[in-house]
Amino acid sequence: QKEVEQDPGPLSVPEGAIVSLNCTYSNSAFQYFMWYRQYSRKGPELLMYTYSSGNKEDGRFTAQVDKSSKYISLFIRDSQPSDSATYLCAMPGSARQLTFGSGTQLTVLP
């Protein structure tokens, strides 16, 4: 079993839809939960991160962590074509090395 599992998609939604992206993890020691966005043929960029459980909101993006279920989510409200990208969840482990999910490819159709 991989430490971090992520549905690869692809996921295709109409403009304006609410998008839900999810990851599950197995290591209960994870404390920080990252979401990176990667446009085609580019390097990933950090979108947002949360520490421990709870929600964090940044504009149209909300990150949610449920440590009891080992489940994290990224919600995108009022999705735009410019949100079309691959979204990667990631968590730093005890060795301070990031473990990445495989990424979910999202397309927002105009």
For another protein, the binding residues (CB under 8 A) are 4, 6, 8, 32, 34, 41-46, 49, 51, 88, 90-92, 96-98, 100-103
- For the record, the structure tokens of 76 come out as 């995108």
Nearer to another protein by Cβ, of 17 and 32: the residue is 32
Using the minimum distance from each CB to another protein, give the nearer residue, 76 or 91: 91
- Between 17 and 98, name the residue whose CB sits nearer to another protein: 98
For the chain, how far is it from start to end, CA to CA, in angstroms? Answer: 37
Identity of the residue numbered 94: S
In the structure encoding, which two tokens stand for residue 106, read together?
């999202």
**How many contiguous H segments (helices) and E segments (strands) does the chain have?**
0, 11
Encoding tokens for residue 108? 């927002």
Please, what is the minimum distance in Å from the beta carbon of residue 110 to another protein? 26
Dig out the tokens for 10 from the structure: 């692809």
| Closer residue to another protein (CB): 82 or 97 | 97
Q: How far is the CB of 76 from another protein (least distance, A)?
A: 20
